[in-house]
Amino acid sequence: MPLKKNIATSEAGFVFNPATGDSFAANPLAAEVLKLLQAGHDLAAIRAQLLERYDVPAHQLQHDLDDFIWQLTSFQLLEE
């Protein structure tokens, strides 16, 4: 589920969808996930990478990433 190619993101977490005009503020971890998605990583790889770096139980990260993907879907930021 890659990020749409026209979505603009910044290091500071600003996200812009030129197709809809919507803009978003991502917190640091969300910005990191978006960057990994843009780089073409799949969700399992992203999860593994984050588990290595962050102090979080695996089940919570899974839950939060699932929620985040739902959010990206509802904001129309992912490829169909």
Binding site for other proteins (CB under 8 A): 15, 22-30, 32-33, 53-56, 60-61, 64-68, 70-72, 74-75
Q: Backbone dihedral region of 21: left (phi > 0), alpha (psi from -120 to 50 degrees) or beta?
A: left
Min separation Cβ 25 and other proteins, Å: 5
Min separation Cβ 40 and other proteins, Å: 18
User: What's the distance, Cα to Cα, between the start and end of the chain in Å?
Assistant: 8
Min separation Cβ 79 and other proteins, Å: 17
